[in-house]
Structure 1
Amino acid sequence: EIFEAADANADSKLDFEEFVQYLQDHEKKMKLAFNNLDKNSDGVIDASEVVAAVKSLGIHISESQANSILKSIDSDGSMTIDWDEWRDYFFLHPAKNINEIVRFWKRSTVVDIGESIAIPDEFTEEEKKSGDWWKRLVAAGIASAVARTCTAPLDRLKIMMQVHSLKTRKMSLNTGFKLMVKEGGIFSLWRGNGVNVFKIAPETSLKIGAYEQYKKSLSFDGAQIGVLQRFIAGSLAGATAQTCIYPIEVIKTRLAVGTTGEYSGVVDCARKLLKQEGIRTFFKGYVPNLLGIVPYAGIDLAVYEILKNYWLEHFSGNSVNPGILILLACSTVSHSCGQLASFPLNLVRTRMQAEAMEEQTVHMIQLMKEIYRKEGKRGFFRGITPNIIKVLPAVGVGCVAYELVKPLFGLT
């Protein structure tokens, strides 16, 4: 990599003038990076400046973690880094290393579990130029489809428990599965999964594109945005994507709660809904769905940041690479907390999407009052058990599938 960077005329030969020019240009870049970190211009970089630099990349570390970074560069034991130490350490290290380290801890939610409306993944400039970004999206889409398909029976059971909670409170995991299999056979457990997989591509594309645009609007002079800006941009991107694909969400719910033979497929379901109930039916439950994005994305990101910082503070040692198991654990807990926070609105949304089956039309506040009057507070969490159970296998299957698919696209 160093040879290719220095070979200015790309003739696979390196003469003395090219080598000297490369060293001079590289030293200028290192000096600029050093000056950017040296905020008080005292000629040295201390722990507080390391904390501030990493924070600008969206990562929060403790002072002890900053001291560990300093130790790896500091050669005289002063716990500060002067220009000579900085130059000697980074002379043969590409500057992109710090971004690669940070990417270990950036929130990666390209692989979703069927209801993820949190912060999208971010792509480096190198990935955008090389075209790796679209390969990662395709690989993540395949992994997401596998994860959703593997947990589809739990997803359908959750919807059934949400919709029929006012009719019967006795539907448990066991009885729910038995009723679905008895009504439509074993394959009925995957009813509605096709449209759930189909919407991965448009939803992800819209979310990623909108997220990039909102990030640009929230940043100043091209500066890196922090956690708060990422949360705002992610929430707005989620709202934008959900608005565009919401009719598909309604169709998915109707297919999931429909009886065997009621709909022959996605197109037939859409045609019957349009003919029998009109265009407005495709946006029933839109308001609670939109309101649920903020608590989901906010709690999800906040819990992830807390767990990440706790691990960095107490268990990381001298390493900032947490490993797949730590990331998997953090993602599972944060997803679960996000779903708990937004589940009541999720239940109201699902009930409103399926309200035509009850032959009645109710508004959001009216429906919430009815649920509370008949079932109490617990009524807002009908179906939470299969929803929580599916998080760990969905995240795990998604991550494993993603790692297996990546080599097929030449990704490491």
Structure 2
Amino acid sequence: MAKTAHHDPHTNKLNNTQIVLTSLVAGAIAGALAKTTIAPLDRTKINFQIGHKPYSTRKAFKFLLETFKKEGFFALWRGNSATMARIVPHAAIQFTAHEQWKRVLKVDQSGKTPGKLFLAGSLAGVTSQSLTYPLDLARARMAVTHKHEYATLRQVFVKIYYTEGLMTFYRGYIPTMGGVVIYAGVSFFTYDTLKRLFRERIDSSHNPPAIASLGFGAVAGLLGQSSSYPLDIIRRRMQTDSSGKYKSIFHTLVYVYRNEGIRKGFYKGLSMNWIKGPIAVGISYATYDNVKVFLRNILVKYRSKLYIE
């Protein structure tokens, strides 16, 4: 029976297939809940990221209000169907891959292998992002266009395929991977480190209280998104460009720098991320940990009746 590198008391009672399945389900639920919560803020951020107008909190809320007045309440969640189609498999794969990469890399849970812990997070992010990238691009397109241009997720894929070609679905992939390596590495590293310190200094039980997990996730999200934000700008510009203006990473970097500068270009909308990022990551990590434990409790309790091979 394979064991993971976690101190999860259930892992010595479940086989690796059961561990993977519970991680997949918990990750899917966590991702869906977190992204739906902050979807209006996400749409606002993307619109400012790809445009030339300077960002401010007042302008962000003005955009939300105008969208509500012109297109209705549910327009604030426009593109969320594409987000769900992406985030459910993305979060499920990322959380599961993180557990498995820690197992493969033999991460020491006492904090003696920080490099491996960071690498496990980065590899988890790369794994999940690579497998779901076309859905991320489709969601970005839906978020920045009117519903008449792309009415459904299927229409996004069909229209892009016939008018821009298959490779368009991977436009912005390289800066995305650069950002993911930093973001996922910093985020998972921070969250796991805070949980370890909590266990060592405050409460030795395996799973911290939900409020503590929310706080740890919020800090992890804040640090992760702040460190990778410029690459997120480049990614969004390239993903949503249907005119061919942003031909390469270098061209996009130069264009943004010359026309908008460093602060107004590469960090546009970051303060919005400081609001939505900690909320989303906190909800995601806390939900994942608690749902995972709940599911594993059920399996352990009824393991004589449930056989998942």
With normalisation by structure 1, the TM-score equals: 0.60
Structure 1 position 264 matched with structure 2 position 167 = no
1:142 is displaced (CA, Å) by 2.3
| CA displacement at 1:271 relative to structure 2 | 0.2
Residue 190 of structure 1 deviates from its aligned partner by 0.6
CA contact (8 A) 2:22 2:296 kept: yes
Distance 1:298 1:244, change over 3 A: closer
Query: Which residue of structure 2 lines up, in the alignment, with residue 326 of structure 1?
Result: 212
Could you list the runs of 4 or more consecutive aligned residues of structure 1 that deviate by over 4 angstroms after TM superposition? Answer: 208-217, 305-313, 395-398, 400-410
Q: Report how many aligned residue pairs link the two structures.
A: 287
Bigger Cα Rg: 1
Q: Which residue of 2 aligns with 1:141?
A: 28
**Among 86, 95, 106, which residue is 1:199 paired with?**
86
Distance in 2 between residues matched to 1:243 and 1:410, nearest whole Å: 32
1:81-92 paired onto structure 2 within 5 Å? none
Kept after mapping to 2: 8 A contact 1:344/1:381: yes
Name the CA distance, whole Å, in 2 between partners of 1:134 and 1:213. Answer: 12
Distance 1:210 1:400 in 2: 17
The reply to whether residue 233 of structure 1 matches residue 114 of structure 2 is no
What SS class does the counterpart of residue 147 from structure 2 fall into? coil
Query: In 2 relative to 1, CA 229–359 (structure 1 residues): closer, same or farther, beyond 3 Å?
Result: closer
TM-score w.r.t. the length of structure 2 is 0.78
Match in the other structure for 2:269: 383
Change (3 A) 1:127 1:199: farther
Measure how far apart 1:205 and its partner are.
4.8
Percent of aligned positions that are identical: 32
Hey, what does 1:347 align to over in structure 2?
233
1:362 aligns with 2:247: yes
Cα 1:270–1:297 shift into 2, 3 Å: same
2:187 and 2:221 in contact (8 A); partners too? yes
Contact 1:184–1:260 at 8 Å: present in 2 too? Answer: no
The 2-side partners of 1:308 and 1:268 are apart by 43
In structure 2, relative to structure 1, the CA distance for the partners of 1:225 and 1:249 (3 Å cut) is: farther
**1:336 Cα deviation (Å)?**
0.7
Q: Give the direction of change, closer, same or farther, for the CA distance of 1:336–1:208 in structure 2 (3 Å limit).
A: closer
Which residue does the alignment assign to 1:152?
39
How far is the alpha carbon of 1:391 from its aligned partner? 3.0
Contact 1:215 1:225 in 2 (8 A): no
Superposition deviation, residue 135 in structure 1: 3.7
**Equivalents in 1 of 2:292, 2:102: separation in Å?**
29
Corresponding residue for 1:128? 15
Say which is worse superposed, 339-348 or 394-403, in terms of deviation: 394-403
The aligned residue for residue 337 of structure 1 is 223
For residue 323 of structure 1, report the CA deviation from its aligned partner.
Answer: 3.2
Render the CA deviation track for 1:164-202: whole Å, top value 9, x for unaligned. Answer: 1x2x21562222212322442221111111121122343
Separation in 1, partners of 2:170, 2:139: 13
Q: 1:88-127 to 2 correspondence within 5 Å?
A: 99-100=7-8, 124-127=11-14
Q: Over aligned residue pairs, what C-alpha RMSD do you find?
A: 3.4
Structure having greater relative contact order (Cα 8 Å, sep ≥ 6): 2
- What CA distance in whole angstroms lies between the structure 2 residues aligned with 1:229 and 1:126? 26
Residue pair 2:118, 2:189 contacting (<8 A) in 1 also:
no
Q: CA deviation at 1:231?
A: 2.4
Report deviation, 1:295: 1.7
Q: Secondary structure at the match of 2:119?
A: helix
**How is 1:179-198 mapped onto 2 (pairs within 5 angstroms)?**
179-198=66-85
In 2, Cα distance between the equivalents of 1:205 and 1:145? 10
Given the superposition, is the C-alpha separation of residues 392 and 381 from structure 1 closer, same or farther in structure 2, using an over 3 Å criterion?
same
Residues 311, 352 of structure 1: alpha-carbon distance in 2 compared, 3 angstrom cutoff: same
Shift of the 136–360 alpha-carbon distance from structure 1 to 2, 3 Å rule, reads: closer
Per-residue CA deviations over 1:339-374 (Å, capped at 9, x if unaligned) read 000011011100100111x55242111211221222
Q: For 2:50 and 2:178, how far apart are their aligned partners in 1?
A: 19
Secondary structure at the counterpart of residue 218 of structure 2? helix
- 2:40 alignment partner, SS class: helix
Decide whether the 8 Å contact of 2:188 with 2:220 is kept in 1.
Answer: yes
Change (3 A) 1:309 1:150: closer
Give the counterpart of 1:254 among 129, 141, 159.
Answer: 141
CA apart distance, 1:407 = 5.8
Which ranges of structure 1 fall in alignment gaps of 5 or more residues?
1-56, 59-98, 104-122
Ranges in structure 2 where 5+ consecutive residues have no aligned partner: 302-309
Matched-pair contact (CA < 8 Å) for 1:143–1:405: no
In 2 relative to 1, CA 149–236 (structure 1 residues): closer, same or farther, beyond 3 Å? same
Work out which of the residue numbers 280, 293, 300 in structure 2 matches 1:394.
Answer: 280
SS of corresponding position for 2:15: helix
